[in-house]
Amino acid sequence: MKGTNLGEFEELIMLVAGVLYPEAYGVAIKKEIYTQTGRKVTLSAVHSALHRLEKKGFLESKFGDATKIRGGKRKKFFIITTYGSKVLNEAMSIRKQLWDSIPKVALGG
């Protein structure tokens, strides 16, 4: 089961990778997470999650261009795979389904 599981942070990363399509890479994702959610995450946490997601097959990557500010190192762009988008959709629909089945009283309404 572990292989297909999608953690909260992982989901966030995937969504942000989608937002930034097609130019989602480490630093950009980190900044986007901050502007969208106000969460400060470390670069290494982002990389670690990206790496994990790629291993699970949710993301795929290719090298982009090198810039001077990066000391001549290329960026690595991450794109959501078909499998990845399926899993994201699934996560959302499960969530939606759950939301829908919560009685209104339970949410203090």
**Is residue 35 at the binding interface for other proteins, with CB under 8 A as the rule?**
no
Q: Which stretch binds other proteins (CB under 8 A): 16-24, 59-67, 82-90, 95-103?
A: 59-67
Query: Residue 65 is encoded by which pair of tokens?
Result: 């261009």
Residue among 71 and 108 whose Cβ is closer to other proteins: 71
**Which member of 74, 86, 95, 96 binds other proteins (CB under 8 A)?**
74
Residue among 69 and 107 whose Cβ is closer to other proteins: 69
**Which member of 75, 80, 84, 87 binds other proteins (CB under 8 A)?**
75
CA-atom Rg of the chain in angstroms: 16
**Which member of 51, 86, 95, 96 binds other proteins (CB under 8 A)?**
51
Instruction: Name 8's Cβ contacts closer than 8 Å, sequence gap at least 6.
Output: none
**Is residue 39 at the binding interface for other proteins, with CB under 8 A as the rule?**
no
Burial annotation 80-104 (CB, 10 A radius, 16+ → b, else e)? bbeebeebbeebeeeeeeeeeeeee
- What are the C-alpha distances in Å from 58 to residues 22, 81, 109? 15, 5, 37
Q: Which residues bind other proteins (CB under 8 A)?
A: 25-27, 42-44, 47-48, 51-52, 63, 66-67, 69-71, 73-76
